[in-house]
Chains A and B, each alone.
Chain A
Amino acid sequence: MTDATASAGRPTRITRGSPADHPSIRRPLIRRPDVLIFLAILALVTIGATVLAQTGHVSTSTVKLLGKTLCLCLAALAMDLVWGYTGILSLGHFAFFGIGGYAIGMWLMWDRTELIVLDTLARNPLPATPLEVQEAIGSQIFGVVGSTEIPWLWAFAGSLPLQLAAAVLVPGIVALIFGWLAFRSRVAGVYLSILTQAGTLALSLWLFQNDSGLRGNNGLSGLQNLPGLDHVPQSTISLWFLWASALALAGAYLLAAWTVAGRFGSVLRGIRDDEARVRFLGYEVEHYKLAIFTGTAMACGIAGALYYPQAGIVNPAEIAPIASIYLAVWVAIGGRGLLYGAVIGAAFVSLLSSWFTGGGAPDIDLGFYEIRWTDWWLVLLGLTFVLVTLFAPKGLGGLVDLWTERRSRRTSDLGPDEGALRAEEERP
């Protein structure tokens, strides 16, 4: 009766619901509202910062901070794919970020040192032999760890294309081997998280050693100076990296949006929610996990390769386990399973963090105690993390959803259903 008529009228109403929520509706990626808005904001920020920097309103360090933030957003995007969408809580993705930084840092350091060494040796009366050049580079780079020998790891350090490839391939290969071993044995959940943390810790401890071949706790430094471009001011180079970071983030966002749309995205979310069920549908869950784990590790490698030339230094402390946990915290605060959530979380928290720890926030004097934000910021972050997890599981990005949902609630069908057979039962 009334139920039956309501049900009959329903299909037309349902199809009017917000199409963005329905990946099945074939809509070009570039025309989806979330993608469009994201790209527009990113372009606005990048162009705005460029204009302000050119006119001298924004300092070079601010441009670098912005560029670095975009790289962190890219890493958070990767973390969201692997954790928010596929449910693999990897606490080691920042290690891949660091590996990317080391790979590009090796070339930057090597090539620049080589130029300096050649320049110095050119003043000698006799032309330098290749061996002398090698030794001079060796003592320049590895003098701090008491060595002049060039470790085997640096075999290709003189080649930019090879080191760029390494920035992507080394994280990829490490992730592939680690993932293959872990997923094949069906290690999942908290055990996998612990395993990734252990791996990250091992890598960072190894890097801390002086004989690791990567300058121990000194790390690689002077990365902000591009070889052969000493005449270009840092203010210009910082803008180059800002644009490169923005382009990488835009590309990654498009790629991620394409990946999570359609059936592939369905399978990923299915694995997150009920892995066994996906297996019984005939999907090799391990292959999907391995693909997403490896792909996101490579994305993190790219992000790191763009980040560290802006930071100027990469050292083992960057790869410490806590960094990977931060990555998870950003995604959780921004919103798991929402691409823009991850970006918002990473940008918001990392910018806020540098404001608090950089002395931007005024200390509060309570009379009996002074709250210094450089110390208390972590407490605040921890509290925020707990509160978001408890009360806003969809994070900051969820607020955006709340707003769009409220707008579409009037047109789409979300209400209590009429039961399976109400309409049919009415039939004569």
Chain B
Amino acid sequence: MSALLEVSGVSKSFDGFKAIDNLSFTVGEPELRAIIGPNGAGKTTFMDLVTGKTRPDSGSIRYGELSRDLTRMSEAQIARAGIGRKFQKPTVFEDQTVFENLAMALASPRSPWTVLTRRPSMETRAGEVAERVGLTAHMRRRAGVLSHGQKQWLEIGMLLAQEPRLLLVDEPAAGMTSAERERTTEMLVEAAKDHAVVVIEHDMEFVRRLNCRVTVLHEGRSLAEGSLDFVCADPRVIDVYLGRPEAGAEAEAEHA
């Protein structure tokens, strides 16, 4: 396992509010990692920084064997370099079919001219992805008519179709039934066998099932890192997060 993503000393503030404060974070390949933390801990900002949506005020974010500097790349370039992102709210293209959503995500040339003139059949590859996320029967349906859980899966499918090396997954189990959660866990654990997967989640049960290394974020800093049991035993973690899970969960729900 070697480091795929290296975030070192990154800070980002919005109007004086320090969303990320001198954060360092490393994830290897393959690895499954969960990031937990109360509302406002900087989890989503962290993802925005890695995917190029926001630029850090200081610090560096390096990726891959060539240690490419992600802070100098556009969102699309970062995505093409192999970093895929799943949003907290399912963001699929509701107006288009499941197949069209997957076809758009499938790893393939992205330049306008190539996309316009070369039109290889994507049925087989899209079918394989649909199989993995259990949407084979829904290929011809508009994504807008899918249930919430199916949309989450479609988005995970789109993530897999991109064939990224690093998957950033924001609250994949939000709003799912318990059976759907179980299925989602399987998908993520399966993906983590040959990818780097970072899951942001505040549902402890879900994190426990992932059975992986956990990083606790608080006020933009990394508070503790280790197995779930290890971090749960940390008094600081108990103080800021686990000590008042109800309040944390409620605030998070409001935020979502």
Q: Which A residues form the contact surface with B (CB < 8 A)?
A: 7, 10-11, 14-15, 17, 22-24, 26, 259, 262-264, 266-267, 269-270, 273-274, 276-285, 287-288, 291, 413-414, 416-417, 419-421, 424-425
Contact = CB atoms under 8 A, between A and B. Distances in A.
A3 to B, nearest CB: 12
20 contacts: A14-B137, A14-B140, A263-B122, A266-B104, A269-B95, A270-B104, A274-B91, A276-B53, A279-B79, A282-B162, A283-B110, A284-B74, A284-B76, A284-B112, A287-B112, A417-B147, A420-B134, A420-B153, A420-B180, A420-B183
Given A263-B103, A420-B149, A10 B80 contact: no
A421 B179 contact: yes
Contacts of B104: 263, 266-267, 270, 278, 281, 283
B95 to A, nearest CB: 6
Interface string B215-240: 00000000000000000000000000
A233 B43 CA distance: 75
Nearest to B181: A421
Interface string B80-114: 10001101000101111101100111000011110
A252 B103 CA distance: 26
Nearest to B121: A26
Nearest to A425: B179
A224 B49 CA distance: 60
A305 B87 CA distance: 47
A7 to B, nearest CB: 7
Interface of B: 51, 53, 74-76, 79-80, 84-85, 87, 91, 93-97, 99-100, 103-105, 110-113, 115-116, 119, 121-123, 134, 136-141, 145-150, 153, 158, 162, 176-177, 179-180, 183
A24 B150 contact: no
Nearest to B183: A421
B115 A264 contact: yes
**Chain A at the B interface: mostly helix, strand, loop or mixed?**
helix
A264 B110 CA distance: 10
Contact of A23 (B91, B100, B162): B100
A128 to B, nearest CB: 51
B169 to A, nearest CB: 13
Contacts of A421: 149, 177, 179-180, 183
Given A7-B137, A416-B145, A420-B134, 18 more contacts: A14-B138, A23-B100, A264-B112, A264-B115, A266-B93, A266-B100, A266-B104, A274-B93, A279-B76, A282-B80, A284-B76, A284-B111, A284-B112, A285-B76, A287-B111, A291-B116, A413-B140, A419-B147
Contact of A24 (B99, B105, B141, B153): B99
B149 A264 contact: no
A291 B84 CA distance: 25
Given A285-B76, A287-B112, A10 B137 contact: yes
Nearest to A417: B147
B85 to A, nearest CB: 5
Contact of B79 (A259, A274, A282): A282
Given A270-B104, A273-B95, A284-B74, A424 B179 contact: yes
B76 A283 contact: yes
A81 to B, nearest CB: 12
A10 B135 CA distance: 12
Contacts of A417: 138, 141, 145-147, 150
B183 A24 contact: no
Q: Which of A26, A284, A285, A420 has the most CB of B within 10 A?
A: A420
Contact of A273 (B84, B94, B123): B94
Contacts of A10: 137
B79 A281 contact: yes
A263 B116 CA distance: 8
A91 B76 CA distance: 28
B124 to A, nearest CB: 12
Task: Give the 9 A-B residue pairs with the shortest CB-CB distance, closest first.
Answer: A420-B149, A282-B79, A279-B75, A282-B80, A420-B150, A421-B179, A291-B112, A264-B116, A284-B76
B164 to A, nearest CB: 9
Given A11-B136, A417-B146, A420-B153, A259 B76 contact: no
A208 to B, nearest CB: 37
Contacts of B180: 420-421
B76 A14 contact: no
A25 to B, nearest CB: 9
A281 B162 contact: yes
